[in-house]
Structure 1
Amino acid sequence: MKKSLVALAALAVAGVASAQSSVTLFGVVDASISGYSNSSRDLKPTVLANNFRVPTYTNQGSVKVSRTALANSGYNSSRLGFRGTEDLGGGLAASFWLEAPISNDDGQTGISTFARRSTVSLSGGFGEIRLGRDYTPTFWNDTVFDPFGTNGVGTNLISTANGLFGGFSGYSAAATTLVNRPQIPNVGGSNYVRASNTVGYFLPPNLGGFYGQVMYGFSEQTKYDSGVFTPNVANNSRAGRYIGGRFGYANGPLDVALAYGSSTIGDQYYAGVTTKVNTLNLGASYDFGPVKLFGEVSKAKNKNDYEVTPILGGRPDIDLTGYLIGVTVPVGAGLIRASYSAVKLDTNQPFDFFNPANNLDPKANKLALGYVHNLSKRTALYATIARISNKNGAGYTTGGPGFYNGLAGTTFTPKSATGYDFGIRHAF
């Protein structure tokens, strides 16, 4: 009798396993020797001894900080994942996707989180309904229409700047420095690249080249039946919510898409203030054969919504605009990549007659050049070099150390940043 029960159990397990159409283990291991160099300068003039009681000061010149590292994710993000699909019949399928970031340069981070993607979905002729953590619609345009795929020192400035612009902890106009190139996604810091707790819908793939998606992310904040019982704590009522969508057309050499997203990054319940970052971008690419062109324009707005508008109008909106142009050129087994991107930050403050420098908008531009040599379909060697020019207080870097801030009594302003990646990528 016991043997019969064991046999039946084995048959049941085998039946469940056979219903699973496919389960795949996949990943990328990418390692590079990378270098970063950031220069800043003292803009204060030298003041000599005088009879006007003005303190003397000696200009400190320029300071350069640099770092060389064995890094990861210079060409493609290192990852390890599992995905599978079960055919439910009648054109219906259930799928899962669990993808974890890994830091293969030091081995410290493995499958500790599935922060890159963790979704379960149901798909059919109606399209796909996907639940979990996934890329946001607006970030898709950043990475699809970037010749460098938002990886390594060549990552376009639109992506870098927007990643800093929409942090949940609030926003400061001066917070424009990317101290270290992030290797591990922060699931609680921003909704810009990925959003958690989302429900997404994707159009079916048979619409003659038209495609699209919409996404809603829950804030998962506690609501109180009477608002007077809400704790007087910042960012505990609406922060974390996300809503967005992306629609495009891809046919032959042309691919173009428009995306919009709104992320609630903060709130003050009793002050009646909600802070949002709204992002709109348009990206396109066209493959001429000998060359493929890329382009993107983007505008993000950090704004406060007031239940009762303050007498003085409240804090002005902060605008971040940017654009990107890029190109890839196939050369035998290799690919040349190049891009130019630029961003500008506008705090919309009233004109300052006494400090003219405060009227200048922080801005930056970046030039990146790279080459990829494919040894096979899965293995490639790559090299990338990039340079950023910062102006009016902007402080964007390609990674590595932050800009030198100076000792007490000195003021250093970010100037330029350079970086390089030389590495190998293997996919499986």
Structure 2
Amino acid sequence: MKKTLIALAAVAVTGAAFAQSTVTLSGQLDVSYGKLIGETKGTMSEVHGSRVRFLGSEDLGGGLKANFGLEERLRVDNGEASGVRFNGYSTVGLSGGFGSVNFGRQYTANFTNANNKADPWGGDTAGALRAIGMQTTYVRTANSVRYDGAFGPVKVAASVGLKEGAATKNDTSFAVSYAAGALEVGLGQDNGADNGDVLNAFATYDLGVAKLAFGLGNKETGAGVETKGWLIGATIPAGPGAARVGYARAKNDTTGVTTNAKFAIGYQYPLSKRTRLEADFARDSKAAAEKSGYTVALTHTF
């Protein structure tokens, strides 16, 4: 639950009223114990990415707002920062009736609006299927511009990571999705600069007794190696929590070799609205060694 730290209401100074500004603090902390596929022993770590998030907004009038976001990543088990400062994102931008435009380090359009939609685990824990079934170039890009807009049931997003530093060309990303009732479908594409091209498609349908998901992914590297993947999954309400089950498969289409065939199952149990326990198990029959993995995690959001 987000907590408002600062709220500056309209203040009259010499008869002029200043627009309202807010800054909120939110985030999550998680710690886990487990062994991912390919690892030889269990360790204490994290599976969701602990984070502290600052979000701010200022009403500029006429339906226009100025916004910013800063998300710092860290590890609870040892207190270390994760990667660069504000590894989650660091953005500033404007929003209004046209949608929103943000600048800075941020998620690609394909990742948030297509790539991350089908996996019941959202790419986290030992059960994660996203990297196999959906394929990825970049999750985030620095020095980027992103647009998001909603037009009735249709959402569109586009982002460009500018050619700076070692990059030899821009990283472009696009996604479009349609949601109506229990159904959501979408398509996303990345031209991942020096990391290849990706095309993802997904569909989810909530039956009430289970939310079903299907995804397809295709990736071609700059060297011409093509990988195709797919995944199916379901999130099933069970008791106070939810069970998750899924399967993902990937094939190197250039060599004809199946590289992954992963089955996963797990359960998430809420201790409260903000605290949960979860346990997941997975097995990839195509893994070179240590084909099985597991995680048990405690996560608290605030």
Scaled by the length of structure 2, the TM-score of the pair is: 0.88
For 1:365 and 1:286, how far apart are their aligned partners in 2? Answer: 24
Contact 1:259/1:281 (CA < 8 Å) preserved in 2?
yes
Q: In the alignment, what sits opposite 2:44?
A: 70
1:386 aligns with 2:282: yes
For 2:242 and 2:162, how far apart are their aligned partners in 1? Answer: 41
Indicate the percent of aligned positions where both proteins have the same amino acid.
34
Q: Which runs of 5+ in 1 are unaligned?
A: 1-9, 39-64, 167-191, 222-235, 266-275, 305-316, 349-359, 396-413
1:327 maps to a residue whose letter is: A
For 1:262 and 1:145, how far apart are their aligned partners in 2? Answer: 21
Deviation at 1:262, TM superposition (A): 0.2
Q: In the alignment, what sits opposite 1:340?
A: 247
Count of paired positions: 289
Q: Secondary structure at the match of 1:158?
A: helix
Deviation at 1:111, TM superposition (A): 9.6
Q: Which runs of 5+ in 2 are unaligned?
A: 1-10
Contact 1:161/1:343 (CA < 8 Å) preserved in 2?
no
1:93 aligns with 2:22: no
Deviation at 1:281, TM superposition (A): 0.7
Contact 1:142/1:159 (CA < 8 Å) preserved in 2?
no
Q: In the alignment, what sits opposite 1:29?
A: 29
Q: Secondary structure at the match of 2:87?
A: coil
Distance change (3 Å), C-alpha of 1:259 and 1:211: same
Contact 2:282/2:293 (CA < 8 Å) preserved in 1?
yes
For 2:83 and 2:168, how far apart are their aligned partners in 1? Answer: 28
For 1:220 and 1:111, how far apart are their aligned partners in 2? Answer: 19
Q: In the alignment, what sits opposite 2:145?
A: 199
Q: In the alignment, what sits opposite 2:168?
A: 239
1:198 maps to a residue whose letter is: S
| Structure with greater proportional strand content | 2
Deviation at 1:157, TM superposition (A): 5.1
| Match for residue 264 of structure 2 among 342, 345, 368 | 368
Contact 1:219/1:242 (CA < 8 Å) preserved in 2?
yes
CA RMSD in angstroms comes to 2.4
For 1:108 and 1:242, how far apart are their aligned partners in 2? Answer: 30
For 2:176 and 2:133, how far apart are their aligned partners in 1? Answer: 23
Q: In the alignment, what sits opposite 1:218?
A: 162
Per-residue CA distance 1:92-137 (angstroms, 9 max, x = gap): 0010010111101111227961111111110111111111111112
For 1:98 and 1:23, how far apart are their aligned partners in 2? Answer: 11
1:217 maps to a residue whose letter is: G
1:369 maps to a residue whose letter is: I
Q: In the alignment, what sits opposite 1:58?
A: none
Q: In the alignment, what sits opposite 2:296?
A: 422
Per-residue CA distance 1:30-67 (angstroms, 9 max, x = gap): 111112464xxxxxxxxxxxxxxxxxxxxxxxxxx611
1:87 maps to a residue whose letter is: D
Per-residue CA distance 1:249-308 (angstroms, 9 max, x = gap): 11221111100110121xxxxxxxxxx51111101111010110011001111135xxxx
Deviation at 1:160, TM superposition (A): 8.4
Q: In the alignment, what sits opposite 2:188?
A: 259
Q: In the alignment, what sits opposite 2:227?
A: 320
2:58 maps to a residue whose letter is: E
Q: Secondary structure at the match of 1:153?
A: coil
For 1:344 and 1:218, how far apart are their aligned partners in 2? Answer: 31
Query: Does 1 or 2 have the higher relative contact order (CA < 8 Å, sep 6+)?
Result: 1
- Which structure would you say has the larger Rg? 1
1:82 maps to a residue whose letter is: F
Distance change (3 Å), C-alpha of 1:110 and 1:198: closer
| Structure with greater proportional helix content | 1
Contact 1:389/1:416 (CA < 8 Å) preserved in 2?
no
Distance change (3 Å), C-alpha of 1:124 and 1:318: same
Deviation at 1:142, TM superposition (A): 2.7
Contact 2:36/2:292 (CA < 8 Å) preserved in 1?
yes
Q: In the alignment, what sits opposite 2:80?
A: 108
1:154 maps to a residue whose letter is: G
Q: In the alignment, what sits opposite 2:52?
A: 80
1:282 maps to a residue whose letter is: A
